[in-house]
Amino acid sequence: MKLGPDVDKVAVAQATHGCVGADLSSLCQEAAMQCVREKMDVIDLDEDTIDAEVLESMFVTNDHFIFATKQTNPSSLREV
């Protein structure tokens, strides 16, 4: 996963208090999927591969992580 220059890893770590490894994996996958969703207008779904230019232009930003944080719940805090 390519990260954008604006990704603040410390802020992501602080925002994921109570997350276990599986939660962090889910968070990263959701952030990546949000990046892909934003590029759906330039991705040709009929092709077997994605154009290299499109792949080079895709990177996960801090906004993607913020969106993903709102979509996921930490496992260790669910019972609290």
Q: What is the pTM of this model?
A: 0.81
pLDDT in tens for each of the 80 residues of the chain?
A: 899 999 999 999 998 888 889 999 999 999 999 999 988 888 877 888 888 888 888 999 999 999 999 988 777 665 55
Give the CATH number of domain 9-72; options: 3.40.30.10, 3.40.50.170, 1.10.8.60, 3.30.420.280.
1.10.8.60
Kindly compute the dihedral angle of the four CA atoms of residues 38, 39, 40, 41, in this order, to the nearest 10 degrees.
Answer: 110
Task: Give the integer Cα–Cα distance in Å for 57 and 43.
Answer: 12
The distance from CA 12 to its chain's CA centroid, rounded to whole angstroms, is 11
CA atoms within 13 A on the CB side of 59: 10
